[in-house]
C-alpha cells in the first residue's frame, strides 16, 4: 500500500445529572503525534476548561468538569499513515525475566481483567512445549482467535480473562484480555492497546465503527502488535492508549454519574485533495 491520509473522529454524547469530574483518553497516542496533519483536540459542548497531561503509561489524557445537562465530546482530525501493515518478525525472541527493562516488568503481573496467577498451569499445558519467541505469541493468538466466538451481545464490563476462557464468547477487548493473560503466564510481557482501526484491505464490517482493541507483546527490545480478534496484519491501525488492561485505557472515566446516550467513531482513508481542504 502507498502512504495515506486517514480521517479520525468521534462524537460522544452524555446526560449529566449533576456536575462531575471526568478524564478522557481520546487523543492519538504521543508516539503518533508527529503524524498528525490537523489539530487533535477534545471539544466539549458546552465548553469547559480542560487540562491535558500524560498518565503513568504515557497516554495523553484530558481532564475537566462536566456541568449538569447534555454533554457532547467530539473531534475530527487527519493523520498520515505509511500504509504498511502491522510488522511481522518471526525471529523476535523472548527475553528472560531478569533481562527485561524495569518498566516492562509490570506487564507480567495480575491486573483488573487479567488473572495471570489463575493461568499458570493452563498456559504451560497449552503452550509450554512450543518454541519460545514470536511463534509462541502467534500460537496464543491463533488459539484465542479460533476458540472464542465474537458477538456484541456477549459484552459486559466485569468480564475477565478467566470468564472468557470459561465461556468462550466475547467482544474485541475480551479476546485481547485472554491473549494478554496467557502471554504473561508464559513470562512474556503483554499490554492492552486501543485506538482506531480502519477497514482498509479487508471487507467492510457491517457493524457500526467503534474504537478497536489489540495487544502488544515485548520481544527482543521492543513492543510488537498482535491482534487475537482479527489475527492478521492490518493497515491503518492508529494507537490511542496502552495499559495493563482495559481499566487503564477507558475512553472516558467519570467520577460520578454520566449516562452515555450516543457513540459514533469515524476512521477512514481520504483522498489527498480532500485532506488539503479540511
Residue 27's domain is classified under what CATH number?
A: 2.60.40.2250
| 277: pLDDT strictly greater than 50 | no
Q: Same structural domain for residues 169 and 223?
A: yes
Q: Same structural domain for residues 102 and 182?
A: yes
Q: Same structural domain for residues 233 and 102?
A: yes
Q: Same structural domain for residues 50 and 152?
A: no
Q: Same structural domain for residues 271 and 178?
A: no
| 249: pLDDT strictly greater than 80 | yes
CATH number at residue 179: 3.10.620.30
Cα(141)–Cα(228) distance, integer angstroms? 5
Is 88 part of any domain? no
User: How many helical (H) and strand (E) elements, i.e. helices and strands, does the chain have?
Assistant: 5, 14
- Stretch 162-168: mean pLDDT: 98
pLDDT digits (tens, 9 = 90+) for 124-156: 999 999 999 999 999 999 999 999 999 999 999
pLDDT digits (tens, 9 = 90+) for 221-230: 999 999 999 9
CA dihedral 179→241→264→73, nearest 10 degrees, is 150
Confidence class for position 272, pLDDT limits 50, 70, 90: low
For cell 511481522, the residue is 88
How many structural domains compose the chain?
2
Q: Which domain holds residue 27?
A: 4-82+251-275
Q: Residues of the chain with pLDDT > 70: what percent?
A: 97
Element (DSSP H or E) covering residue 63: strand 60-66
Give rounded-to-5 percent helix, strand, coil for the chain.
25, 35, 40
Q: Same structural domain for residues 104 and 202?
A: yes
Give the pLDDT score at 205: 81
Cα(30)–Cα(59) distance, integer angstroms? 7
Cut 0.75: pTM above it: yes
Q: Same structural domain for residues 143 and 227?
A: yes
Cα(85)–Cα(2) distance, integer angstroms? 11
| 245: pLDDT strictly greater than 60 | yes
pLDDT digits (tens, 9 = 90+) for 63-79: 999 999 999 999 999 99
Question: Which range among 4-8, 128-132, 144-148, 205-209 shows the weakest confidence by mean pLDDT?
Answer: 205-209
Q: Same structural domain for residues 242 and 255?
A: no
Q: Same structural domain for residues 74 and 175?
A: no
Q: Same structural domain for residues 101 and 231?
A: yes
Q: Same structural domain for residues 125 and 197?
A: yes
Is 89 part of any domain? no
Q: Same structural domain for residues 264 and 176?
A: no
Quickly count: other Cβ atoms within 10 Å of residue 278's Cβ.
12
Amino acid at each position: 500500500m502507498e502512504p495515506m491520509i486517514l480521517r479520525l473522529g468521534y462524537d460522544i454524547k452524555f446526560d449529566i445529572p449533576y456536575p462531575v469530574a471526568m478524564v478522557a483518553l481520546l487523543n492519538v497516542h504521543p508516539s503518533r503525534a508527529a503524524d498528525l496533519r490537523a489539530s487533535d483536540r477534545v471539544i466539549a459542548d458546552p465548553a469547559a476548561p480542560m487540562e491535558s497531561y500524560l498518565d503513568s503509561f504515557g497516554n495523553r489524557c484530558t481532564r475537566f468538569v462536566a456541568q449538569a445537562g447534555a454533554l457532547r465530546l467530539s473531534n475530527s482530525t487527519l493523520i498520515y499513515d505509511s500504509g504498511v501493515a502491522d510488522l511481522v518478525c518471526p525471529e523476535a525472541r523472548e527475553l528472560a525475566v531478569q533481562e527485561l527493562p524495569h518498566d516492562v516488568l509490570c506487564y507480567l503481573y495480575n491486573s483488573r481483567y487479567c488473572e495471570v496467577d489463575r493461568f499458570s498451569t493452563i498456559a504451560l499445558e497449552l503452550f509450554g512445549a512450543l518454541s519460545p519467541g514470536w511463534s509462541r505469541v502467534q500460537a496464543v493468538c491463533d488459539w484465542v482467535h479460533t476458540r472464542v466466538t465474537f458477538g456484541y451481545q456477549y459484552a459486559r464490563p466485569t468480564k475477565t480473562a478467566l470468564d472468557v476462557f470459561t465461556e468462550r464468547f466475547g467482544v474485541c477487548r475480551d479476546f485481547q484480555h485472554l491473549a494478554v493473560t496467557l502471554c504473561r503466564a508464559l513470562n512474556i510481557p503483554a499490554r492492552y492497546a486501543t485506538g482506531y482501526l480502519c477497514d482498509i484491505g479487508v471487507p467492510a464490517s457491517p457493524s457500526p465503527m467503534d474504537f478497536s482493541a489489540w495487544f502488544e507483546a515485548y520481544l527482543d527490545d521492543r513492543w510488537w502488535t498482535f491482534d487475537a480478534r482479527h489475527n492478521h496484519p492490518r493497515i491503518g491501525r492508529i494507537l490511542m492508549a496502552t495499559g495493563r488492561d482495559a481499566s487503564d485505557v477507558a475512553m472516558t472515566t467519570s467520577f460520578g454519574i454520566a449516562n452515555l446516550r450516543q457513540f459514533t467513531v469515524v476512521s477512514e482513508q481520504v483522498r489527498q485533495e480532500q485532506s488539503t481542504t479540511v
